[in-house]
Amino acid sequence: MELQSRIPSGPLEQKWDKHRFEMKLVNPANKRKYTIIVVGSGLAGGSAAATLSELGYQVKCFCFQDSPRRAHSIAAQGGINAAKNYRNDGDSVYRLFYDTVKGGDFRAREANVYRLAQISVNIIDQCVAQGVPFAREYGGLLANRSFGGAQVSRTFYARGQTGQQLLLGAYQALEKEVARGGVTMYPRTEMLDLVVIDGRARGIVVRDMITGAIKSHAADAVVLGTGGYGNVFYLSTNAKGSNATAIWRAHKRGAAFANPCYTQIHPTCIPVSGEYQSKLTLMSESLRNDGRVWVPKRAGDHRPPDQVPESERDYYLERRYPSFGNLAPRDIASRAAKAVCDEGRGVGSGGLGVYLDFADAIKRLGVGTIRERYGNLFEMYARITDEDPYEVPMRIFPAAHYTMGGLWVDYNLMSTIPGLHVIGEANFSDHGANRLGASALMQGLADGYFILPSTISDYLASAKAGPVDPSHPEFRRVEAEVAERTRKFLSIRGKRTVDSFHRELGRIMWDKCGMARNAAGLQEALGRIPELREEFWRNVNVPGSDAELNQALEKAGRVADFLELGELMCLDALQRKESCGGHFREEYQTEDGEALRDDDNFAYVAAWEHTGDLRSPRLHQEALDFEYVHLAQRSYR
């Protein structure tokens, strides 16, 4: 396996334009001769499918929900970044680029990030043209707020429902193309494998989730926009259905998996309340624009918040990071919360919580303004906790939220399997070791509306792979493998539910490969995960049949994949003997407890090749060169 990043030469600002000029094109009249499979109808997949169809390609789009509108992207709350500089507060494409590279702790490709910042401005125009109702100022201009890791206001938002509104925009574009006949939509259809013929991605094998029928679809190129794998932790802010199956099975067919250990723990989630819980809820980072984070100064202080006088409160983010205060980036804010809870200063039952307090903001701005800005988030919090955040501070704690790792892609968003492209959260691309808030929507839409539709023509025009159809023996072979795996799940009839395995895996991942990791813990996890996997294949109970809607069967496939991916995450975390962004190895920290990078030895993307043996994948390194941003210890003080 060879990693060719295909980063264009020339000055940073000109790379993308130059590359677009140099890439091969497909003649407009020839586009309809090509079929492209897009798996995923979230912001990345939905925008890509609609745009590719607009360009004239024949598109088949797949999702496991009953409607593209239910993709996990709909959950995104806070906003989407763009370097529009509407506030005239010093923003620019270069500043967004710089903030993103620094925010990712210098573990992303400069060229990709610069392109992302350039395209960010087009995304807003595209979405406004579609009618996305972004918040506006009194005078009609689009409003902005701030997100972590930035000192400017560049986040566009639609109350606390930005993902939903953006997805409705992409969905309308998609449905228009469905009606025109350019896109065929396959809802309730799960991709269970990738078919590679003569070294190229030529199609997928899917299961109809209603009838259980297993079928193949052939194409000239395959695009995965299948989201992140945060649910490996069992408890996360992701939708319950989000999973790694599509990218994991593509990995096992030859696609390198990059930086699997880079996961984001979000600092502002509603704390875990008990063993029965199956999901965690995010309180958007946007709340930190006005909410102040604090804990009591004294360990073991259990007084209700209104009885802790101002002088006995520790606004620890404002104290430790005066320049960024409550808007310190997520990795830093999460670790700071963990640190105060480890000192016994956490709040709420179990002591795993910190306050997010709006009392000052309500006094300064009035309750009406706060309601206008965050009303739906406050309501959500009140419904879940039965506490009124207008009256008492919210309690929050870090939780697994986003995965920066994913399938390795080159500058064209193509994986190490020619013809297999990966977009959105499913690829590893632009966020390095820590994603800044409001940058995932930006990346997913940059990939889907703008980058992939340009770069895929280069592949199609050069590959000239010729026609193929599902009667090809390789499709038949993969279909048989998928059917056999399904049969196997149903035949085990063991004693434990799929969920019980998932919960146990999640606990191992959270304890040993979560907010903090160390060599001993990772070694322990690497001992326990294969044991758990072995028990799973011996003792799982999947009731029902494969000829009907069977959610236990669906989950079994996904959890089986998590049980393999979890091991790769721990191997990756173990080999990276440094701390960077969300990857905090306890052995490598500064005197102040901040992440201590080792640029001499680890300024690379770790891309793992599947060898057939889960215990010994092969590591490939893509060196990261920093020509424009000076490598420095990240400081938000």
Ligand X SMILES: Cc1cc2nc3c(=O)[nH]c(=O)nc-3n(C[C@H](O)[C@H](O)[C@H](O)COP(=O)(O)OP(=O)(O)OC[C@H]3O[C@@H](n4cnc5c(N)ncnc54)[C@H](O)[C@@H]3O)c2cc1C
Q: Are 35 and 62 in contact (CB under 8 A)?
A: no
Binding range to ligand X, per CB under 6 A, among 8-16, 237-245, 450-458, 499-507: 237-245
The reply on whether position 163 binds ligand X by CB under 6 A is: yes
Q: Interacting stretch for ligand X, rule CB under 6 A, among 89-97, 241-249, 256-264, 471-479?
A: 241-249
CA dihedral 162, 168, 170, 174 (to 10 degrees): 170
Nearer to ligand X, 156 or 294 (CB): 156
Residue of 200, 330, 517, 597 with catalytic role: 330
Q: In the complex with ligand X, which residue's Cβ is closer, 52 or 603?
A: 52
- Return the residue of 36, 37, 44, 542 that touches ligand X, per CB under 6 A: 44
CA angle 605, 116, 61 (to 5 degrees): 90
β-sheet bridge partners, residue 218 = 203
| DSSP labels, 363-392 | HHH-HHHHHHHHHHHHHHHHHHHS--TTTS
CB atoms within 10 A of CB 227: 29
Binds ligand X by CB under 6 A, chosen from 161, 162, 231, 429:
162
3-class secondary-structure state, position 540: strand
Shortest distance, CB of residue 603 to ligand X, whole angstroms? 25
Distance CA 132, CA 165 (A): 6
Give the count of beta carbons closer than 10 Å to the beta carbon of residue 63. 28
Known catalytic residue at 330 = yes
Of 208 and 318, the one with the shorter C-beta distance to ligand X is 208
Footprint (CB under 6 A) of ligand X, residues 611-630: none
Q: Which residue in 43, 49, 214, 223 binds ligand X (CB under 6 A)? A: 43
Tokens encoding 31: 């586009």
Smaller CB separation from ligand X, 148 or 296: 148
Binding residues for ligand X restricted to 259-288, rule: CB under 6 A: 282
Q: Give the whole-angstrom CA distance, residue 398 versus residue 337.
A: 7
Minimum CB–partner distance for residue 268 and ligand X (Å): 10
| Three-state DSSP class for residue 15 | helix
In the list 114, 402, 449, 588, the residue contacting ligand X (rule: CB under 6 A) is: 402
DSSP class per residue in 76-130: --S-EE----TT-SS--HHHHHHHHHHHTTS-S-HHHHHHHHHHHHHHHHHHHHH
Mask 65-94, x = binds ligand X (CB under 6 A)?
Answer: x-----xxx-xxxxxx--------------
Contact between 451 and 119 (Cβ < 8 Å): yes
Cα separation, 168 vs 71, whole angstroms: 11
Question: Minimal distance in Å, beta carbon 363 to ligand X?
Answer: 27
Among 8, 40, 104, 296, binds ligand X (CB under 6 A): 40
Stretch that binds ligand X, among 235-243, 251-259, 329-337, 362-370 (CB under 6 A): 235-243
Residue 398 phi/psi, 5-degree rounding, is -65, 150
Distance from C-alpha of 588 to C-alpha of 603, rounded to nearest angstrom: 15
Among 120, 216, 439, 550, interactor with ligand X by CB under 6 A: 439
Q: Is residue 399 a contact partner of residue 235, using CB atoms and an 8 Å limit?
A: yes
As measured in angstroms, the least distance from the Cβ of 265 to ligand X is 12
Minimum CB distance to ligand X smaller for 101 or for 308: 101
- Site string (179-198) toward ligand X, x via CB under 6 A: -----------xx-------
The residue from 62, 234, 381, 428 that contacts ligand X (CB under 6 A) is 62
Joined together, the tokens standing for residue 558 give 């996904």
CB closer to ligand X out of 486 and 579:
486
Q: Which stretch binds ligand X (CB under 6 A): 37-45, 302-310, 376-384, 533-541?
A: 37-45
Q: Looking at 222-230, 382-390, 572-580, 629-637, which segment touches ligand X (CB under 6 A)?
A: 222-230
- Long-range contacts (CB closer than 8 Å, 24 or more residues apart) made by 563-566: 563/501, 563/505, 563/529, 563/532, 563/533, 563/536, 564/248, 564/533, 564/614, 565/229, 565/232, 565/244, 565/248, 565/260, 566/232, 566/505, 566/508, 566/509, 566/513, 566/525, 566/529
Token pair in block for residue 42 = 């979230």
Distance CA 143, CA 134 (A): 8
Of 124, 340, 362, 441, the residue at the interface with ligand X (CB under 6 A) is 441
Q: Could you tell me how many residues of this chain bind ligand X (CB under 6 A)?
A: 44
User: Does 245 help bind ligand X (rule: CB under 6 A)?
Assistant: yes
Among 242, 263, 434, 486, binds ligand X (CB under 6 A): 242
* CA R_g for the chain: 24
What is the side-by-side order of every strand in the sheet holding 604-609?
406-407, 257-258, 604-609, 618-623
| Contact range with ligand X by CB under 6 A, out of 252-260, 389-397, 436-444, 624-632 | 436-444
Choice from 104, 149, 225, 296 touching ligand X (CB under 6 A): 225
The residue among 402 and 608 lying less far from ligand X, judged by its C-beta, is: 402
Q: Which residue among 238, 268, 289, 579 contacts ligand X (CB under 6 A)? A: 238
41 binds ligand X per the rule CB under 6 A: yes
* Position 170 contacts ligand X (CB under 6 A): no
Alpha carbon 275 to chain centroid distance? 25
* Interface with ligand X (CB under 6 A), residue from 16, 34, 57, 64: 64
List interacting residues with ligand X (CB under 6 A): 39-45, 62-65, 71-73, 75-80, 162-163, 190-191, 225-228, 237-238, 242, 245-246, 282, 401-402, 424-426, 438-441, 444
Catalytic residues: 330
